[in-house]
Amino acid sequence: MSCLACDLASGRRELPGGLIHAWYHWVAEHCIGPLGVGTLIVKPKRHVVHVWDLTPDEAAELGQALQQTAAVVAELTTCDQIYVSLWSHSEGVPGHIHFVVQPVTRQQRAAHGGGVGVQKAMFDAAVTPPRGEVEAFAEHARTLFGT
């Protein structure tokens, strides 16, 4: 069975912005969906479907990866909050886990009720960020991660 997350990481599918940062067990890359410029994905390097299947080393590194990614997103955007959410389904089937690290503004929260309402509205609108903006963001993010 094909895995989009694995395909993106391996280069079998195109990833605008490319790899942004890698830890020993995790990688950060830009979201390919309609969640806006600056929304990054943190996912395990190996194919993992359930959080409870993480190794102790993967679990120990996760907090650092999420904190560093949120700090980079905060530095590069004008958001007033960063949402961090676990996504792990594709068409109702558990898939490669990944954490969405998304900058959100007061205006987005006010317009859509915050929380999942913001993400739902963005998916409903189905506006994929321009590739050039994603690539520019990824390049700036790489410099802040130090890679």
Using CA atoms in the order 20, 146, 84, 130, what is the torsion angle rounded to 10 degrees? -40
Q: What is the pLDDT of residue 146?
A: 80
Q: How far is the C-alpha of 77 from the C-alpha of 3, rounded, in Å? A: 30
Cβ contact 83:39 at 8 Å: no
Question: 32-71 pLDDT, tens per residue?
Answer: 999 999 999 999 999 999 999 999 999 999 999 999 999 9
pLDDT (tens digit per residue) in 85-112:
999 877 788 899 999 999 999 999 898 8
Report which of 33, 118, 52, 112 is spatially closest to residue 83, judged by C-alpha positions. 118
Which pTM value belongs to this model?
0.94
